[in-house]
Amino acid sequence: MNTTPTATERVIERIEQFPVRIPFRDVPERNLQRELPHWRYLELFEIEIACGAIGHGEAML
């Protein structure tokens, strides 16, 4: 049984974006600021394609 979506089923129907700011404890916050000062927020995503499959992802901003 093949469950791979066809090309027409892979069309993105919906994207939800959730920006979040995670409070870190003092030492991890200091280390993050030193090494990656431009990363302040996380974005979480929920994506639904035409066949009804839902996926999740994240990115740091």
In the chain, the DSSP E strands lie at 12-20, 42-49, 54-60
**pLDDT value at 16 more than 70:** yes
Q: pLDDT tier at 1 (50, 70, 90 boundaries)? A: low
Contact criterion met (CB below 8 Å) for 12 and 40:
no
What proportion of the chain, given as a percentage, has pLDDT over 90? 51
Listed in sequence order, the residues at least 6 apart from 58 whose beta carbon sits closer than 8 Å to its beta carbon are 42, 43, 44, 45
- pLDDT single digits (tens) 30-50: 998 898 888 888 999 999 999
Domain segments of the chain: what residues?
8-60
Q: What pTM does this model have?
A: 0.66
C-alpha–C-alpha distance, residues 44 and 10, integer Å: 20
Average pLDDT over the chain reads 88
